[in-house]
Amino acid sequence: MGIGHYLRAIGRGRYGARAMGREQAAELFAQVLAGEVSDLETGAFCIAMRFKGITPSEMMGFLDATQARLARWPATRRPLVVLPSYNGARRRPLLTPLLALLTARAGLPVLLHGCQTETGRVSSQAVLAALGIPALSAPRLIADGELVHADTALLCPGIKRLLDTRQLIGLRNPGHSVVKLMQPGGGAQIVVSSYTHPEYADVMTETFERLGMSGMLSKGTEGESVADPRRAIQIDGFVRGQRRLLQAKQPGVTADLTGLPQAADAAATADYTRRVLQGQLPAPEAVERQVAHICALARELE
């Protein structure tokens, strides 16, 4: 079928390109996910969208196509916390697994999903493996108080293929944003999402609102959705699309980061995470506040 007519519209640069409607975006993305377009067309799509930028309608269309192909998890008793982890960490210990485990300890079912998208970074999957938590091989019911993690290829092979193009062309593409908004659960769910560049904050906010999603949105810590332990960032919450401010940004940097390791490798991060869970070290206050916000959102959905 081909996507050449779409590429002619979106491939004219930041000021000459035309935005797609939601249905058009869904049709294009469906072909990309299904592998119905050539590698050359896929690369052209990635580069064109990188320069043009993404609109809320396009984001929703991309999500429509993805959700239709997404592996589904059975509905959980309490709201399912969906925690995407794709960026990993380069300079600091990756605390996304700690956030997931503390949220599960608070009694919520948690699904952490992701894959390695960039070499030279420590992934949540590597940290969880060091903690002895294997990846799922198939969707299943997640119990209250349980953390499971799944590779993106299990959720949606087409999205995994699209993410892999970063290794070839060196640029992120719409797939890197779509994975942060996916809803694989069969019932109520809380999507813990983040943005890296400020222009994506408005796009993702409008997507949460117009799709009636529940979750939270904040600026990412090295691209991850976990709170930065050094500072209080702004966190917006959503309950069925209704937005509210959960936490205002505060000036200054926290000096006391007791026990946080200097090394950022998976083994050191796993050891730190284990010691926090065992009560040998305190959890970062910023992460504890994030867990409290997630639990508060869950209570509103119950």
> What separation in angstroms does the CA of 100 have from each of 94, 109, 265?
12, 9, 18
Q: Nearest 5°: phi and psi at 119?
A: -70, 155
Q: Position 185: which residue type? A: G
Q: Report d(CA 189, CA 183) in Å as an integer.
A: 7
**Hey, what are 216's tokens?**
């939270």
The pTM of this model reads 0.95
Per-residue pLDDT of 102-139, as tens digits, reads: 999 999 999 999 998 777 899 999 999 999 999 999 99
CA angle 209, 212, 215 (to 5 degrees): 80
DSSP state for residue 221 in the 8-state scheme: B
At residue 1, does pLDDT exceed 70? no
Find all residues with CB under 8 Å of 272, minimum gap 6, and list them.
Answer: 93, 98, 259, 260, 261, 281
Residue spans in the chain of domains classed CATH 1.20.970.10 = 4-67
Q: In the CATH scheme, what architecture does the domain 80-301 have?
A: 3-Layer(aba) Sandwich (3.40)
- Give 153's Cβ-side CA count (13 Å radius): 8
Q: Report d(CA 114, CA 159) in Å as an integer.
A: 11
Confidence grade of residue 93 (pLDDT, cut at 50, 70, 90): very high
β-pairing, 110-114 vs 80-85, is parallel
State residue 122's pLDDT score.
Answer: 94
Residue 157 and residue 30 in contact, taking contact as beta carbons nearer than 8 Å = no
Q: What is the third-level CATH fold of 4-67? A: 1.20.970
CA angle 20, 24, 26 (to 5 degrees): 115
Residue spans in the chain of domains classed CATH 3.40.1030.10 = 80-301
Q: Report d(CA 50, CA 174) in Å as an integer.
A: 8
Per-residue pLDDT of 53-90, as tens digits, reads: 999 999 999 999 999 999 999 999 999 999 999 999 88
Per-residue pLDDT of 3-62, as tens digits, reads: 888 888 898 877 788 899 999 999 999 999 999 999 999 999 999 999 899 999 999 999
Residue 301 and residue 214 in contact, taking contact as beta carbons nearer than 8 Å = yes
Mean pLDDT for all residues in the chain: 93
Q: Nearest 5°: phi and psi at 136?
A: -70, 150
Q: Report d(CA 218, CA 206) in Å as an integer.
A: 14
Name the strand (E) or helix (H) holding 58. Answer: helix 56-67
State residue 11's pLDDT score.
Answer: 84
Q: Nearest 5°: phi and psi at 75?
A: -60, 135
Per-residue pLDDT of 245-281, as tens digits, reads: 999 988 867 766 778 888 889 999 999 999 999 999 9
